[in-house]
Chains A and B, each alone.
Chain A
Amino acid sequence: MQHSFISKNPSVLVFLAILALFTLSVTLLSEGLGLGLISTSFVKTLGKTLCLCLIAVAMDLVWGFTGILSLGHFAFFGLGGYMIGMWLMYERTRLIVVQSLSQSEIPPTQSEVVDAIGNQIFGVVGSSEFPLVWIFADSLVLQLALVLLVPGILALVFGWLAFRSRVTGVYLSILTQAMTLALALYLFQNDSGLRGNNGLSGLQNLPGVSASQDAVSLWFLWASALALGLGYLLSAWIVSGKFGSAIRGIRDNEARVRFLGYSVVSYKLAIFTLTACIAAIAGALYYPQAGIINPAEMAPIASIYLAVLVAIGGRGRLYGAVIGAALVSLLSTWFTGGQAPDISLGFYTIKWVDWWLVLLGLSFVAVTLFAPKGIGGLVDYWTNRQTPDRHGADLGPDDGALREQEALK
């Protein structure tokens, strides 16, 4: 008997409804279109949070469902941001340059315009030549294609190298972390062609758009919400089908899936590349809202925070990732923004700006130890879903083997 996708996954509808409601209410309360109760900067924060939710969904796909703890997905996120940032910066600088050159007596030639743009963009790193990587920067379509292609191809090549030689578990995590570090270090150089540690800036200004930031922030909120909705739908569809069963199998026992005749490398490669592309889209939407991107964003620590978000929200369930990302990033904004009240202990005043990371780190340890399901586990209590009690001694040689008490039932 055939069940429809929606009837098998009622949570998708619930999620989409909540997302739509959230977007609608923010729009109504915003300064751009509505009552003006929510400031533009907070709309931007919410939009960025939606992007983080999207990359958290991608991380959940690759980690929670496939069991690959990738510490490199923020690199793909950053690359996506760089790709869109190149077009934004080029186009905006071009408009400014054309404007200023039109004041001169003789109309500028094409090459003079390009030279002037190069001077504007690369002046900070002591150069004026366009590096090869900027070759498509004048075309929005091509640069949008690169948002997907560059991280996708990087993930494909790296994943192929790693999965082919069966690097798994913590080794893979360290390897992905090394990849991120290498990429960040490379971009930190001034001659990498992406302005070194200055990064790309002024991305919040859309070229050729005269609308105020109040409106632009809303557009980005809608785009982010749309991307999150579609990404969630796609992820839910992937994990609910046969493909989903196969990747969960790989997570639980890779060797067994391989011996059943599945091509483990292809499955892992597909999910790794797909999630890299989702991450890149999230990044391409995130950085125009943040306004600036630099290599520090791609440092290995960012990818580990991503794992923290997903783990706190609850791995292996897509809504868990979203909850974790939204909760932790909003809390983080609240605490580090200095809005949280200080706690005075008499002899010492706890300033949350200083102590938030300590709290986050320790709560992360606590979640790992005491609540492996994360916040999403609360839903199980609510719906009275029980998992088999796997306490008791092992019966077999491996950690995954049937346990004593299960066998006795």
Chain B
Amino acid sequence: MKNLLFAGLAILLSCLMATAQEVRQEVRQGPAIQAVLQEHQALIAKSSRKTIAPAIDAIANSGLEQAQTVLQVWAEKKMWMRKSDLQFFIGAPTENGLIELTDFDGGAVLGALPKAEVKQLKPNSGVRALIATALVRFQLSDPDPARRQDALTSLQRDPDATLLAPLRASIPAEPDAGLKAQKQRLERLMTIGYDSDTQARIAAISDMSGGLGVDLRATLNPLVATTRNVVAGTFPAARPETANVAAVLTPGQDGFSQAQAYELLVAKGLAPPRITQADIRAALTANIKDEQVAGFAVTELDNDATRQQAYSVLANSGAVSPFVTDDQVAAALQSHVFFDSFADPSPKVTTAAVAALRNIDAKVSLNQAVDLTLDALSLASIYFLAAIGLAITFGVMGVINMAHGEFIMMGAYTGYVVQQIIPDHTLSIIVAIPAAFAVTFAAGVAMERLVIRWLYARPLETLLATFGISIALQQLAKNIFGTQARPLTSPGWLDGAWALNDVVSISYIRIAIFCLALIFLGIFLYIMKRTRLGLETRAVTQNPNMAASMGINPGWVNMLTFGLGSGIAGVAGVAIGLFAKVTSELGSDYIVQSFMTVVVGGVGNIWGTLAGAAMVGFLQKGIEWLNPSNTLAAQTYMIVFIIIFIQFRPRGIIALKGRAAGD
């Protein structure tokens, strides 16, 4: 048994020796990528982000076919070094724990070595990033379109001046039209940023001028970024020659104050700093001797005038640096030239870039206006959706329902519960909409029967009673569902946004809400104008007694109308829950705005509600645009505006006239 084992080992050993000799022979006759690797052997073996660059460049610029393979293998941590002669190979672990080596040059399999005789190269993430950049040039002309796309994406994210030439070279042979367009665009952008020829850059800028892409602005903006600088002398004699001057500044003008100018001088070490109150304080504190500073008692130093006198005495004695007087400051400002300089040294390029950016800015602001309009439209449709139920109960019936917001909340929670039962998001939304309608319709009918019908003649009491219900419902929801927000997930096909260009985009969910608002408007108009219920509702609203004598049951009609309004609130709740968090306070967030929408629009008229929602939505977005950091302020100003608006049109935008107006 022992003998057999020894014999096996001996055979194996002799085999290994034989293959090793073969390897050496092959290396000698193969092409030179191994030579390139050997030239930078030490760097590659101990790769570090700081030192590896020459090695990678050498491989990438070797012009050999194998270079791409080497880089890929290296990045994938499959490159191994044979310890005996420090040469590099592709290594793959075999089943019996050995490492099978393959030559880069020629691709010959050289046989397996035990792990102890080889070393795996494990480049860290910094090195791998550098390798990836180097690989881009090969990938740009890779036969696999996905690889080419990846390379383009990485190049777009992180452009590199050295890759401009390989990119250009890869364009004519690009078979895919889409990729070709992308490559051409990227080539233009990189020309702007990195080309050595000024004329080419200017040509590229004028080619691209007028585009809206974020990438274009990201290319142009760094070129025209300015830094503030200063040189000694007077203008124009001391005009700085080396820098690409954007503007010469006069201290005290154009938002460049004298204080700022002097600070710049101090920061550049061209002038002594001014003595601040804090400096005085520190200097005085440092010079206290026997409860006295420069002849002043410490207790006297509780005002600025005495402190300055004491400091002057100290300064005269040479203990501290003297005050910088206003005259000295003025003289220092006089004797220096302040200017902004562009980051890019070429004036022609920056002039072209500034002109292009101005052109782009005009287009961008136009598109932003479009985007803002879309935003406002979607906000308006949300308000309309929240208010349309109120337009029925409050607008048509004149019943003020403070629990309307809680019906919206109930609808949203119904959607949440349905989603717990039916996991499929699309199906659950389809089920949730009628379910929410049914739940809130029932709640509305119950509330009308139990509470509101006793209070038709007393609107203020209706307000209070429904408010009581609102408190109870809110707390009930809190007791059942807890205080944390519940998710109501929208179906996958509503994710994402419809992007017109880099500036104008609108999410699908907002489009869906807009459509839903339109559908509801249609339903409302149909019911009110075309159905028996609508006719009876209008009759009962105008004169219940007369309607009753015509054979209409006012109680029944009121109940159904109120139920309808509440049901619509429930459906609105599902829609609102899709983009807002479902909490017990969901409704109260919308209730004041909803009432505002109805009141501003004009009670009793659906077109008024539409106009009101549009006004409130556009107004809010407009104010937010003026003061983008502060949505709270936007809401505040909007409400103040509405209060003032009601002064001038107490009956709303579209006021009913004649008998229909009621009083």
Task: Give the interface segment out of B186-194, B435-443, B475-483.
Answer: B475-483
- Number of residue pairs across A and B with beta carbons under 8 Å? 152
In the bound complex, CA of A315 to CA of B639 (Å):
30
Given A161-B643, A161-B647, A178-B592, A362 and B472 contact (CB-CB distance below 8 Å): yes
A179 within 8 Å of B (CB atoms): yes
Q: Are B471 and A357 in contact (CB under 8 A)?
A: yes
Identity of the chain B residue whose Cβ is nearest the Cβ of A181 in the assembled complex: B592
Q: Are B457 and A399 in contact (CB under 8 A)?
A: yes
B468 within 8 Å of A (CB atoms): yes
- Within 164-197 of A, Cβ neighbours of B (below 8 Å) are at 164-167, 169-171, 173-175, 177-179, 181-183, 185-186, 188-189, 191
In the bound complex, CA of A166 to CA of B464 (Å):
22
Q: Which residues of chain A have C-beta atoms less than 8 A from B650's C-beta?
A: 165-167, 171
Q: Are A357 and B468 in contact (CB under 8 A)?
A: no
Q: Which residues of chain A have C-beta atoms less than 8 A from B553's C-beta?
A: none
Number of interface residues of B (CB under 8 A): 56
Within 8 Å by CB of B465, from A165, A169, A364, A399, lies A364
Q: Which residues of chain A have C-beta atoms less than 8 A from B307's C-beta?
A: 106, 109
Identity of the chain B residue whose Cβ is nearest the Cβ of A360 in the assembled complex: B471
Distance of A331 from chain B, by nearest CB (Å): 15
Q: Are B463 and A167 in contact (CB under 8 A)?
A: no
Q: Are B636 and A185 in contact (CB under 8 A)?
A: yes
In the bound complex, CA of A169 to CA of B284 (Å):
68
B303 within 8 Å of A (CB atoms): yes
Q: Which residues of chain A have C-beta atoms less than 8 A from B632's C-beta?
A: 185-186, 188-189
Given A106-B284, A186-B636, A365 and B461 contact (CB-CB distance below 8 Å): no
Q: Are A178 and B468 in contact (CB under 8 A)?
A: no
Within 8 Å by CB of B299, from A107, A109, A111, A362, lies A107
Given A106-B281, A355-B475, A361 and B646 contact (CB-CB distance below 8 Å): no
Q: Are B301 and A106 in contact (CB under 8 A)?
A: yes
Identity of the chain A residue whose Cβ is nearest the Cβ of B398 in the assembled complex: A170
Q: Are B475 and A364 in contact (CB under 8 A)?
A: no
Interface centre among A104, A358, A372, by most chain B C-beta atoms within 10 angstroms, is A358
Identity of the chain A residue whose Cβ is nearest the Cβ of B635 in the assembled complex: A185
A384 within 8 Å of B (CB atoms): no
Distance of A403 from chain B, by nearest CB (Å): 12
Q: Which residues of chain B have C-beta atoms less than 8 A from A107's C-beta?
A: 298-299, 301-302
Within 8 Å by CB of A167, from B298, B465, B646, lies B646
Identity of the chain B residue whose Cβ is nearest the Cβ of A110 in the assembled complex: B303
Q: Are B646 and A69 in contact (CB under 8 A)?
A: no
Interface centre among B284, B592, B644, by most chain A C-beta atoms within 10 angstroms, is B592
Q: Are B302 and A109 in contact (CB under 8 A)?
A: yes
In the bound complex, CA of A200 to CA of B467 (Å):
30
Instruction: Give the secondary structure class of B's interface.
Output: helix
In the bound complex, CA of A186 to CA of B631 (Å):
10
A291 within 8 Å of B (CB atoms): no
- Within 344-398 of A, Cβ neighbours of B (below 8 Å) are at 354-355, 357-358, 360-365, 368-369, 372
Identity of the chain A residue whose Cβ is nearest the Cβ of B286 in the assembled complex: A105
Q: Which residues of chain A have C-beta atoms less than 8 A from B451's C-beta?
A: 365, 369
Given A361-B468, A364-B471, A178 and B460 contact (CB-CB distance below 8 Å): no
- Within 151-166 of A, Cβ neighbours of B (below 8 Å) are at 158, 161, 164-166
B514 within 8 Å of A (CB atoms): no
Distance of B279 from chain A, by nearest CB (Å): 13
In the bound complex, CA of A182 to CA of B639 (Å):
6
A308 within 8 Å of B (CB atoms): yes
Q: Are A175 and B285 in contact (CB under 8 A)?
A: no
Task: Give the interface segment out of A131-139, A211-219, A299-307.
Answer: A299-307
Distance of A400 from chain B, by nearest CB (Å): 9
Distance of A248 from chain B, by nearest CB (Å): 16
Q: Are A175 and B646 in contact (CB under 8 A)?
A: yes
A108 within 8 Å of B (CB atoms): yes
Interface centre among A67, A106, A109, A300, by most chain B C-beta atoms within 10 angstroms, is A106
In the bound complex, CA of A351 to CA of B588 (Å):
24
Instruction: Give the secondary structure class of A's interface.
Output: helix
Interface centre among A67, A111, A300, A368, by most chain B C-beta atoms within 10 angstroms, is A368
In the bound complex, CA of A105 to CA of B298 (Å):
8
B314 within 8 Å of A (CB atoms): no
Q: Are A307 and B472 in contact (CB under 8 A)?
A: no
Identity of the chain B residue whose Cβ is nearest the Cβ of A255 in the assembled complex: B663
Q: Which residues of chain B have C-beta atoms less than 8 A from A56's C-beta?
A: none
Q: Which residues of chain A have C-beta atoms less than 8 A from B596's C-beta?
A: 174, 178
Within 8 Å by CB of B460, from A169, A181, A399, lies A169
In the bound complex, CA of A106 to CA of B646 (Å):
59
Within 8 Å by CB of B640, from A170, A182, A357, lies A182
In the bound complex, CA of A173 to CA of B599 (Å):
12
Q: Which residues of chain B have C-beta atoms less than 8 A from A185's C-beta?
A: 632-633, 635-636, 639
Q: Are B460 and A173 in contact (CB under 8 A)?
A: yes
- Within 288-347 of B, Cβ neighbours of A (below 8 Å) are at 288, 293, 298-299, 301-304, 307
Q: Are A178 and B643 in contact (CB under 8 A)?
A: yes
In the bound complex, CA of A158 to CA of B642 (Å):
13
Q: Are B461 and A368 in contact (CB under 8 A)?
A: yes
Q: Are A105 and B461 in contact (CB under 8 A)?
A: no
Q: Are B464 and A169 in contact (CB under 8 A)?
A: no
Q: Are B468 and A358 in contact (CB under 8 A)?
A: no
Q: Which residues of chain B have C-beta atoms less than 8 A from A304's C-beta?
A: 402, 467
Q: Which residues of chain A have C-beta atoms less than 8 A from B468's C-beta?
A: 308, 360-365, 368
A277 within 8 Å of B (CB atoms): no
Given A107-B302, A368-B465, A177 and B455 contact (CB-CB distance below 8 Å): no
In the bound complex, CA of A171 to CA of B635 (Å):
19
Q: Which residues of chain A have C-beta atoms less than 8 A from B648's C-beta?
A: 165
Q: Are A189 and B633 in contact (CB under 8 A)?
A: yes
In the bound complex, CA of A175 to CA of B636 (Å):
13
In the bound complex, CA of A272 to CA of B460 (Å):
18
Distance of A209 from chain B, by nearest CB (Å): 26
- Within 595-654 of B, Cβ neighbours of A (below 8 Å) are at 595-596, 599, 630, 632-633, 635-636, 639-640, 642-644, 646-648, 650
B470 within 8 Å of A (CB atoms): yes
A311 within 8 Å of B (CB atoms): yes
B469 within 8 Å of A (CB atoms): yes
Q: Which residues of chain B have C-beta atoms less than 8 A from A111's C-beta?
A: 277, 304
Q: Are B599 and A174 in contact (CB under 8 A)?
A: yes
Given A109-B304, A169-B459, A361-B470, A311 and B630 contact (CB-CB distance below 8 Å): no
Distance of B301 from chain A, by nearest CB (Å): 5
Q: Are B599 and A106 in contact (CB under 8 A)?
A: no
Q: Which residues of chain A have C-beta atoms less than 8 A from B633's C-beta?
A: 185-186, 189
B556 within 8 Å of A (CB atoms): no
In the bound complex, CA of A394 to CA of B451 (Å):
21
B579 within 8 Å of A (CB atoms): no
Q: Which residues of chain B have C-beta atoms less than 8 A from A167's C-beta?
A: 646, 650
Identity of the chain A residue whose Cβ is nearest the Cβ of B456 in the assembled complex: A399
B454 within 8 Å of A (CB atoms): yes
Q: Are A170 and B301 in contact (CB under 8 A)?
A: no
Identity of the chain B residue whose Cβ is nearest the Cβ of A366 in the assembled complex: B468
Q: Are B475 and A171 in contact (CB under 8 A)?
A: no
Q: Which residues of chain B have C-beta atoms less than 8 A from A188's C-beta?
A: 632
Within 8 Å by CB of A173, from B277, B457, B463, B469, lies B463
Q: Which residues of chain B have C-beta atoms less than 8 A from A362's C-beta?
A: 468-469, 472
List 9 A–B pairs whose Cβ atoms lie within 8 Å, in order of A's numbering. A161-B647, A175-B646, A185-B633, A186-B636, A189-B632, A301-B588, A354-B479, A362-B468, A362-B469
Known: A170-B400, A358-B471, A369-B465. 10 other contacts (CB 8 A): A167-B646, A171-B646, A174-B595, A182-B639, A186-B633, A361-B468, A361-B470, A362-B468, A365-B468, A365-B472
B residues with a Cβ closer than 8 A to A are 277, 281, 284-285, 288, 293, 298-299, 301-304, 307, 400, 402, 451, 454-455, 457, 459-461, 463-465, 467-476, 478-479, 588, 592, 595-596, 599, 630, 632-633, 635-636, 639-640, 642-644, 646-648, 650
Interface pairs A-B: 3 shortest CB-CB: A361-B472, A364-B468, A361-B471
